[in-house]
C-alpha cells in the first residue's frame, strides 16, 4: 500500500480553498513525480495579461501553470519572477506541465533564487509558463511582457 502524506494533502486542500490549484506530492497518491491536481483538461492554467503581475504561494516542490499570448510576429515574451524562496521558471509551447519541466523551450533555474527571468523567441503564439517552488515554501510574483523583437 502506498504511503499517505497528510501534509501534502493538507497543503493541496488549503490551495484549493483559496481557488488555486497546485502540484501534488508524488507520495500523496503514489503516482508520477509531478502530479497536478485540477478539475478538467487545462482548467488550472491562469492567463497572464501583458504587464499585469500575478502573485502566488507554493509549498515545497509544487508548481503553478500560466499562459501568455504574444499577439504579434514581431514581438517576444519576457517573463520574470520575484519573491521569497527558490523558484524555477519553465516556458514551453506545450501546456503539459510534466513535459514542459522536462523539456522546456526556455528555462531559468538559478540556484536558491526567487528572481528568475526568461525571454522567448519572437512570433505570435501562446506560451505556457510553469512556476515551481524548490525545497521550501515560496511566495512569488510573476509578470510577462510583450516586447518588440529586435
CB 105 within 8 A of CB 91: yes
Q: Which DSSP helix (H) or strand (E) runs through 142?
A: strand 138-148
Say whether pLDDT at 109 is over 70. yes
Predicted model pTM: 0.72
Cβ(65)–Cβ(136) below 8 Å: no
pLDDT at 36: 43
Q: Is residue 16 part of a domain?
A: no
Asked if the structure places residue 117 within a domain, the reply is: yes
Number of domains observed in the structure of the chain: 1
Bridge partners, residue 145, by sequence = 78
> What pLDDT, on a 0 to 100 scale, did the predictor assign at position 37?
42
Would residue 4 count as lying in a domain? Answer: no
Predicted confidence at residue 9, as pLDDT, reads: 55
Residue 31 lies in a domain: no
Distance between CA atoms of residues 120 and 80, nearest Å: 12
Query: Looking at the domain assignment, is residue 61 inside a domain?
Result: yes
Query: What domain range is 132 assigned to?
Result: 41-148
For residue range 32-77, list pLDDT tens digits in order: 344 444 434 566 899 999 999 999 999 988 999 999 999 999 999 9
C-alpha cell at 92: 514551453
In CATH, what number is assigned to the domain containing residue 89?
Answer: 2.60.120.380
pLDDT level of residue 120 (50, 70, 90 thresholds): very high
- Residue 71 counted as domain residue: yes
Average pLDDT over residues 116-124: 93
Amino acid at each position: 500500500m502506498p504511503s499517505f502524506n497528510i501534509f501534502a494533502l493538507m497543503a493541496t486542500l488549503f490551495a484549493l480553498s483559496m481557488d488555486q490549484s497546485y502540484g501534488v506530492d508524488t507520495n500523496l497518491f503514489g503516482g508520477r513525480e509531478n502530479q497536478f491536481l485540477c478539475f478538467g483538461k487545462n482548467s488550472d492554467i491562469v492567463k497572464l495579461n501583458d504587464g499585469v503581475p500575478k502573485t502566488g504561494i507554493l509549498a515545497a516542490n509544487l508548481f503553478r501553470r500560466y499562459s501568455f499570448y504574444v499577439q504579434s510576429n514581431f514581438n517576444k515574451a519576457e517573463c520574470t519572477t520575484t519573491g521569497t524562496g527558490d523558484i524555477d521558471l519553465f516556458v514551453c509551447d506545450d501546456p503539459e506541465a510534466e513535459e514542459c519541466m522536462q523539456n522546456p523551450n526556455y528555462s531559468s533555474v538559478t540556484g536558491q533564487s526567487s528572481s528568475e527571468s526568461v525571454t522567448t523567441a519572437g512570433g505570435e503564439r501562446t506560451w505556457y509558463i510553469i512556476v515551481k517552488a524548490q525545497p521550501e515554501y515560496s511566495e512569488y510574483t510573476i509578470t510577462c511582457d510583450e516586447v518588440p523583437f529586435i
